[in-house]
Structure 1
Amino acid sequence: MTANHLVQSENLGGRDSGGHGGVGGDAEVTATRIALADFCQIVQGGRHKLSGNDFVEHGFPAYGAGGMNGLLPAFEFEEAAVVLSSIGARCGKCFYVDGKWSSLANTQVIRPDPEKADCRFLWHQLNDESRWPRSGTGQPFIKPSDVKRHLVHLPSLDEQRRIADILDKADTLRTKRRESLVQLDRLTQSIFVEMFGDPVANPKQYPTFPLSALVEPERGITYGIVQRGEDCEEGIPVLRIRDLADEEIDIAKLKRTSPEVSAQYRRTILRGGEIAISIRGTVGRCCIVTSALAGGNVSREIALVPLQSRVSPVFVQQVIRSTSVQRLIADDVKGVAQSGINLEDLRQLRVVQPPAEEIEAFEARAAVVARLLRDVRSGIAKLTQLTTTLQHRAFQGAL
């Protein structure tokens, strides 16, 4: 390890008389901020030029810019480390790895000296995208030199382990809540299949209609904005594929376009109650547009399905999310570089139509699940806020 990098000492507030972190204690704490290169070996990931073409069914985990990407027949490292995503939209995201594993391209591997740093403590501290300086414009990246010079809070090893244990417990609790969220989300689809059966096999012989027959005829099923232009801070929010991946759409995080651009795509201006479906790249993702998004628009990678008022968005969404319909959508994908589904194939998708009273009964059961989902999401948000507070205090020497 080198010893010629910047080291800073900071007065970070009080400790209580028992030696634990706390605000307002009578003893002062001086915590060291030290450059990663002073206690870590930092190497470029992907030195062996391995990629997805080398993945096997059984092997050792390989970590790229997005996390664990697959398995390789051999391993590169056999120790705990932090893998830093160093190129792309998520550069700054960090992954804790241990055991036998390998690195892939677009990463930096940070291997702390176990006699000086607890790797879990280091991961908790570094896994914050906002703390890393980014270079580049179209494709942001983190310079290796910036990684080596990066300063971190480094108390005693015992203190690091104590803090890591606290943060691990908070992280485990959040993980369990997220798992329950996934199970609840699947519950709605299970209720759907229990009540109506497979919507493609249609065992109950319900009448079926093409999706195009269920939408507002003056709007039809079409895709959105082709060229969004520069992001406008006070402009019109635009739904993109990545936004459909979230359980709840955060309007504050949406890209925005100018009112003039949005007005050119009047049929896809959102009113609330439509279904948005991804038709390029990762096809088949869908969500119900909430009233909070009214006035917004969608990108060209999304098809907007403006259902008639008599049609249940909750029911149609579950039809589209069903395994059999998702398989049909995947089978309709065309192209390689710009893979996607044609709007006409989507318009002709057959949708079962049970009696209105059965759909209403399903909506009532789905509403109960939706309320539970909101409660769990609220709990996760509070846990996230608590974890953020714990991390802030921990890395300021006040936990």
Structure 2
Amino acid sequence: MLLAEDGGHFENPARGIAYRISGKTWVNNHAHVLRPKADIDIAYLCRVLENYDVTPFVTGTTRGKLTKGGASEIPIPLPPLPEQRRIAAILDKADALRTKRREALAQLDRLAQSIFVEMFGDPVTNPKGWPMVSLETRFDFKNGINFSAEQKGRGVLTVDVANMYSDDVYINTKGLYRVDVPVSQDRLLSVGDLLFVRSSVKPEGVAWPALFAGLAGCGNTQQPSPRPSGVMRYQRSTSTT
């Protein structure tokens, strides 16, 4: 099993920091190789660590690094071996179901795109001759806030790139974290704001759009701020109709 050492998604553990591998593999010096002992199931260990928040064990300011010493201090629950295998099997089945659901949603997305083109035409070639305007005439562009890893944990709720990818057109507000930085009112999100991914490790993720629908069900009243390193906000301009 591989555990990220540096360059991992330590600030966004939902994206995964641990991976199972098999067969002959060459591993560079940016990952730890974990070989569990007889009382730990490797599938279970990977499930425990793949989305583990290891920030308390990460060092470095500009580029986080999970050293061997830091990784060795990570506590994990250790039920009996049969229970470990049962938990891993359940999570594997859940992953398989999520994969099938994503495939079904992708087909629905392609259907929606087809219906859009049929109704309005290709927005690139504009065969129906609709009037064309630039986004800057209809939206105000705004980046969010900059912060360091040390500022995470309290303060204003923050939308990260990981929150942008969901099963519908809205931002996934689960797993929002807080950062302790001063934020002006114009940096806070409003319901109806449109966000775009500015940068992503995967090319298909760049320019991914999502709408902010508020924090219903999150138990919070303060609206979050988008994170500028990966997200750009488009807010409808008040100077146009």
TM-score bracket for the superposition, by shorter chain length: 0.5 to 0.7
Amino acid at match of 1:105: N
The C-alpha deviation readout for 1:301-324, integer Å capped at 9, x for no partner, is 544332369x9xxxxxxxxxxxxx
RMSD of aligned Cα (Å)? 4.0
Q: Residue 96 and residue 203 in structure 1: after superposition, are their counterparts in 2 closer, same or farther (change >3 A)?
A: same
- Aligned partners of 1:238 and 1:257 also within 8 Å: no
Distance change >3 Å, CA 303–CA 165, structure 1 → 2: closer
1:300 shift after superposition: 4.3
What is the match of residue 59 of structure 2?
A: 136
2:226 is the alignment partner of 1:306:
no
Aligned-pair CA distance for 1:148: 5.7
| Contact 1:133-1:142 at 8 Å conserved across structures | no
Please state if 1:244 is matched with 2:164.
yes
2:134 is aligned with 1:213: no
Asked whether 1:176 is paired with 2:97, we answer no
Alignment of 1:327-366 (within 5 A): none
Distance in 1 separating the partners of 2:209 and 2:99: 24
Taking structure 2 as the reference length, the TM-score comes to 0.65
Q: Hey, what's the Cα distance between the residues in 1 that align with 2:46 and 2:152?
A: 33
On the 8 A contact 2:145/2:225 being kept in 1, the answer is no
Q: Per the alignment, do residues 294 and 143 of structure 1 end up closer, same or farther by CA in structure 2, a change over 3 Å counting?
A: closer
Aligned pair partner of 2:176 in 240, 249, 253:
253
The match for 1:153 among 55, 61, 78 is 78
Q: In structure 2, how many angstroms separate the alpha carbons of the residues matched to 1:127 and 1:112?
A: 15
1:95 aligns with 19
Distance 1:202 1:250, change over 3 A: same
1:75-111 Cα distance to aligned partner (Å, 9 max, x none): xxxxxxx111233453582211223433233211123
Match of 1:120 among 26, 31, 43: 43
Q: Does 1:190 align with 2:114?
A: yes
TM-score when normalising by structure 1: 0.43
Gaps of 5+ in 1: 1-81, 216-220, 312-399
Separation (CA, whole Å) in 1 of partners of 2:95 and 2:85: 15
Whichever structure has more helix as a proportion of its residues is 1
With over 3 angstroms needed to count, the CA separation of the structure-2 counterparts of 1:183 and 1:149, relative to structure 1, is same
Taking the aligned partners of 1:125 and 1:234, their CA distance within structure 2 comes to 28
Q: Identify, as 1 or 2, the structure richer in strand.
A: 1
CA distance in 2, matches of 1:146, 1:238: 26
Matched letter for residue 272 of structure 1: V
Partner SS state of residue 276, structure 1: strand
Q: CA deviation at 1:129?
A: 0.9
Q: Which one of 26, 29, 39 corresponds to residue 105 of structure 1?
A: 29
Partner residue, 2:218: none
Q: Percent identity?
A: 27
Alignment gaps of 5+ in structure 2: 216-220
